[in-house]
Chains A and B, each alone.
Chain A
Amino acid sequence: MDKWECIVCGYIYDPEVGDTDSGIVAGTPFEALPDDWVCPECGAGKDMFEKVE
Chain B
Amino acid sequence: MKPRKIKDGIYWVGAVDWDRRLFDDLIPLPDGTSYNAYLIQGSEKTALIDTVDPTTSHVLLDRLSQLNVERIDYVIANHAEQDHSGTLPQVLERYPEAQVVCTPKCKGMLVDLLLAPEDRILAVDDGATLSLGDRTLEFIHAPWVHWPETMLTYLREDKILFPCDFFGSHLATTDLYVSDEGRVYEAAKRYYAEIMMPFRKIIQKNLEKVQRYDISLIAPSHGPMYDRPEFILEAYRDWVFGDPKNIVVLPYISMHGTTRVMVDYLVDALVGKGVTVQQFNLAVTDIGELAMALVDAATIVIGSPTVLTGAHPNVIYAACLANALRPKTKFVSIIGSYGWGGKMVQQLAGMIPNLKVEILDPVVVKGHPRDEDFAALDKLAATIAEKHETLK
Q: Which residues of A contact B (CB under 8 A)?
A: 7-10, 43-45, 48
Contacts and interface: CB of A to CB of B under 8 A. Distances in A.
A43 B201 contact: no
Given A7-B201, A7-B202, A8-B199, A48 B354 contact: no
Interface of B is mostly: loop
15 contacts: A7-B201, A7-B202, A8-B144, A8-B148, A8-B199, A8-B202, A9-B354, A10-B354, A43-B148, A44-B144, A44-B148, A45-B148, A48-B143, A48-B144, A48-B202
A43 B201 CA distance: 16
Instruction: Name the interface size band of chain B.
Output: under 10
Interface of A is mostly: loop
Nearest to A38: B148
A5 to B, nearest CB: 10
Nearest to B356: A10
Nearest to B202: A7
A45 B141 CA distance: 14
A8 B200 CA distance: 9
A44 to B, nearest CB: 6
A43 B109 CA distance: 13
Contacts of B201: 7
Contacts of A48: 143-144, 202
Interface string B187-199: 0000000000001
B257 to A, nearest CB: 38
Contacts of A9: 354
A32 B284 CA distance: 51
